């Protein structure tokens, strides 16, 4: 066993103590322990395991699960380019190459002096101000060649991040259209006051009357969820705010947490009041870590104001507080049971359901997991009553929806519309022209072609968690689908066979087409994989993974067909390239040392 320097041991023990040596805090402990050396050496994992009384293999299992935890050394400057399709459309690949060239490094490889590493990461939720990157977890948007040059210089000079120009880290809300929620000016506590005045049952009745449905995309009735948790045996009950906003193209929660955090936390308290919960968690995606200090400040203010703690608003027995847990780069943790596993300090693997979290959630206790926007919306219901809320939007989709608009339009940003707004209206408002397709609901959502722009944003027509990515006539929808397939393959937790292997196989087929090796037979195999993923996957990630391919194959099939080089069969790899190593070893370059890539050329 390798020995840790005593200073590292002291820092680790301090972290462990702050987390009361709780195994449920393992992920939080690992995130903080990584701050010490920038990565997690083997001996650090051993030390943490021993201190928590956990098997070391389990700690290694957790450390290996999350993208932002490193068990190999990374650069003192760790640069991650956001790689959503919208970043790609804004030229992130070229900027990444430029930065690597200036720093004399290979993408994905640590520089020899250990100074810097540059690679990509899944969508960072800055699609309205991309291309974006994270440097040691801090978000920088609006990247340009000029900015990249400056960043390269700052890294070369080893300038501490705190001394980088402040405007780099300026993240704009870009709110373009306000309706009920974003127009609300509520003093903290007002909604809670109103709900408490109605009593727990009266408040739940208002929620039932509101017809509020979950804004995470699935659209489950919020009051039903709350009532189930309320009636389930077991305590203390738990309210979780799912701020693991990982769906590519979605950034509304970023804005709500940045500028409307009181509404979100108040929503959690409203849920706690209805359910009788005493413990709250905000699960904040690692990409939004930069919001942590200001969110903690809001929580502190609310505690001081008596809106969190014991006997809230003078109600005996209304005890509720909120802790913020960080994620560390795992899209699958947006699935509620995977999120709960992660909260418990484990790998973010979705659980078998039933039982559902409302009966057996965090540590087996009744747990409500709600989306950020859903919770914020409950303030409107507390203030204005359930019936008034139900009267807005459409019959089956009450209220408004925040859309995160990005891609080919003049004014990307956040737009709040009453449910029922047609796609065409949204396109007009955000200044999109020559629109070829819109991806609604992110990578797992639906790709709409021009003939569908009359359709409406609503659970009964086009449901969405809020992502709205626009592609104009210059875009290739195959590239779009391929980017999403790469995303799912990277984010698959690997638990079930169809998703673990299927997303990788699907990626292989899309790359095969992209690399000019496509054959007609591949389209049939893609179809078959799509169906198996959809049918047999353990959770929504796997069953949604083929969506972008299914939609684009149906609506933009020529984008695939024009990539086929054979109507029969083609190998997935370049046969001539497979001889390159042998050519190099033998120094040969005669005609026998080459293979024609396509069989037709050989005849």
Partner 1 sequence: MNSPSPRKLRVATASLAGCFGCHMSFLDIDEHLFELVELIEFDRSPLTDIKDVGPCDIGLIEGGVCNAENVHVLREFRRNCKTLIALGACAVNGGLPAQRNHIPLAECLREVYQFRDGVANGQIPNDPELPLPLDKVRPIHEVVRVDYFIPGCPPSGPAIWKFLTDLLAGRTPRLSGGLLHYD
Partner 2 sequence: MTKQFLLDGQPVPFDDGQTILEAARKAGHYIPSLCWHKDFPPHGSCKLCVVKAAGRHVSACATPAKEGWEVESNTPEINGERRGLLQMLFVEGNHFCPSCEKSGNCELQALAYEYEVLTPRFRHFFPDRPVDASHPDVLLDFNRCIFCELCVRASREIDGKSVFALTGRGIGKHLVVNAESGQLGDTDFSATDAAAHICPVGVILPKGTGFAVPIGERSFDVATIRSKTLKESS
Residue nearer to partner 1 on the CB measure, 94 or 568: 568
Please list every residue from 184 through 213 that binds partner 1, using CB under 8 A. Answer: none
Q: Which range in 143-151, 286-294, 457-465, 592-600 contacts partner 1 by CB under 8 A?
A: 592-600
Chosen from partner 2, partner 1, none, partner binding at 588 (C-beta under 5 to 8 Å by type): partner 1
Sequence-ordered strand ranges (E) for 452-603? 467-472, 518-519, 564-566
- Report the half-sphere exposure of 43 (CA within 13 A, side-chain side): 11
Whether the Cβ atoms of residue 453 and residue 423 lie closer than 8 Å to each other: yes
Strand-pairing partners, residue 467, are 404
Chosen from partner 2, partner 1, none, partner binding at 104 (C-beta under 5 to 8 Å by type): none
Q: Which range in 54-62, 232-240, 311-319, 584-592 contacts partner 1 by CB under 8 A?
A: 584-592
Whether the Cβ atoms of residue 324 and residue 295 lie closer than 8 Å to each other: yes
CA 331 centroid distance within chain? 5
- Going from the C-alpha of 422 to that of each of 147, 396, 419, 458, the distances in angstroms are 38, 15, 9, 9
Q: Could you tell me how many residues make up the chain?
A: 603
Residue nearer to partner 1 on the CB measure, 323 or 572: 572
Residues that bind partner 2 (CB under 8 A): 1-2, 42-43, 45-46, 55-58, 60-67, 330, 347, 352, 354, 489-498, 500-505, 508, 525, 528, 532, 535-538, 572
Residue nearer to partner 2 on the CB measure, 394 or 543: 543
Contact letters for partner 1, residues 515-534 (x by CB under 8 A): ------x-------------
Residue nearer to partner 2 on the CB measure, 43 or 115: 43
* R_g (Cα) of the chain, nearest Å: 25
Whether the Cβ atoms of residue 457 and residue 218 lie closer than 8 Å to each other: no
* Of 380, 396, 384, 401, nearest in space to 211 by CA: 396
Smallest separation (angstroms) from partner 2 to the CB of 464 = 23
Whether the Cβ atoms of residue 549 and residue 510 lie closer than 8 Å to each other: yes
In a 3-state reduction of DSSP, which class is residue 178?
A: coil
Question: ∠ CA(551), CA(555), CA(558), 5° rounding?
Answer: 115
Count the site residues for partner 1 by CB under 8 A. Answer: 25
Q: Does 571 bind partner 1 (CB under 8 A)?
A: yes
Residue nearer to partner 1 on the CB measure, 42 or 524: 524
Whether the Cβ atoms of residue 368 and residue 270 lie closer than 8 Å to each other: no
Smallest separation (angstroms) from partner 2 to the CB of 58 = 5
Please list every residue from 541 through 570 that binds partner 1, using CB under 8 A. Answer: 568-569
Q: Does 178 bind partner 1 (CB under 8 A)?
A: no
* Of 423, 546, 558, 430, nearest in space to 492 by CA: 546
Chosen from partner 1, partner 2, none, partner binding at 433 (C-beta under 5 to 8 Å by type): none
Binding site for partner 1 (CB under 8 A): 521, 568-569, 571-573, 575, 578-583, 585-588, 590, 592-595, 599, 602-603
């Amino acid at each position: 066993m390798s020995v840790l320097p005593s200073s590292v041991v002291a820092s680790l023990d301090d972290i462990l103590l702050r987390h009361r040596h709780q195994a449920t805090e393992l992920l939080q402990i690992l995130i903080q322990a990584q701050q010490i050396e920038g990565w997690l050496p083997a001996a650090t994992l051993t030390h943490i395991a021993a201190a928590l009384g956990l098997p070391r293999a389990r700690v290694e299992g957790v450390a290996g699960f999350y993208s932002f935890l490193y068990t190999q050394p990374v650069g003192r400057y760790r640069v991650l380019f956001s790689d959503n399709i919208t970043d790609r459309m804004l030229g992130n690949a070229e900027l990444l190459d430029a930065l690597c060239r200036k720093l004399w490094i290979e993408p994905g490889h640590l520089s020899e002096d250990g100074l810097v590493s540059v690679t990509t990461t899944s969508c960072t939720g800055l699609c309205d101000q991309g291309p974006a990157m994270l440097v040691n977890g801090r978000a920088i948007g609006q990247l340009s060649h000029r900015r990249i040059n400056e960043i390269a210089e700052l890294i070369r000079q080893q300038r501490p991040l705190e001394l980088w120009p402040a405007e780099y880290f300026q993240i704009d809300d870009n709110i373009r259209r306000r309706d009920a929620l974003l127009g609300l000016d509520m003093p903290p506590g007002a909604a809670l006051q109103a709900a408490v005045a109605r009593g727990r049952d009266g408040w739940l009745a208002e929620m039932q009357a509101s017809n509020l449905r979950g804004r995470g995309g699935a659209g489950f009735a919020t009051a039903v969820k709350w009532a189930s948790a309320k009636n389930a045996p077991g305590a203390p009950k738990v309210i979780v705010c799912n701020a693991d906003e990982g769906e590519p193209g979605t950034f509304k929660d970023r804005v709500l947490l940045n500028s409307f955090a009181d509404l979100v936390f108040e929503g959690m308290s409203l849920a706690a009041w209805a359910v009788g919960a005493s413990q709250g968690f905000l699960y904040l995606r690692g990409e939004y870590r930069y919001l942590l200090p200001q969110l903690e400040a809001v929580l502190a203010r609310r505690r001081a104001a008596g809106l969190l703690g014991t006997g809230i608003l003078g109600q005996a027995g209304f005890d509720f507080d909120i802790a913020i847990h960080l994620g560390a780069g795992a899209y699958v943790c947006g699935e509620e049971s995977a999120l709960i596993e992660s909260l418990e300090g484990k790998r973010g693997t979705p659980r078998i359901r039933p039982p559902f979290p409302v009966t057996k959630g965090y540590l087996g206790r009744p747990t409500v997991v709600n989306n950020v926007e859903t919770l914020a919306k409950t303030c409107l219901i507390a203030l204005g009553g359930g019936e008034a809320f139900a009267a807005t939007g459409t019959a089956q989709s009450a209220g408004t929806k925040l859309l995160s608009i990005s891609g080919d339009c003049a004014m990307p940003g956040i737009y709040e519309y009453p449910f029922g707004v047609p796609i065409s209206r949204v396109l007009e408002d955000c200044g999109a022209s020559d629109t070829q397709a819109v991806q609604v609901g992110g990578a797992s959502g639906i790709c709409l072609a021009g003939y569908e722009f009359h359709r409406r944003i609503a659970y009964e027509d086009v449901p969405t968690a809020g992502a709205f990515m626009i592609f104009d006539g210059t875009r290739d929808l195959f590239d779009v689908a391929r980017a999403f397939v790469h995303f799912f393959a990277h984010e698959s937790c690997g638990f079930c066979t169809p998703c673990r292997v299927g997303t990788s196989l699907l990626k292989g087929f899309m790359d095969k087409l992209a690399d000019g090796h496509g054959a007609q037979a591949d389209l049939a195999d893609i179809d078959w994989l799509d169906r198996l993923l959809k049918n047999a996957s353990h959770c929504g990630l796997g069953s949604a993974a083929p969506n972008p391919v299914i939609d684009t194959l149906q609506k933009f099939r020529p984008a695939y067909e024009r990539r086929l080089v054979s109507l029969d069969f083609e190998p997935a790899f370049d046969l001539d390239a497979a001889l390159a190593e042998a050519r190099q070893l033998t120094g040969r370059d005669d005609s026998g040392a080459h293979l024609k890539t396509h069989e037709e050329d050989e005849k």
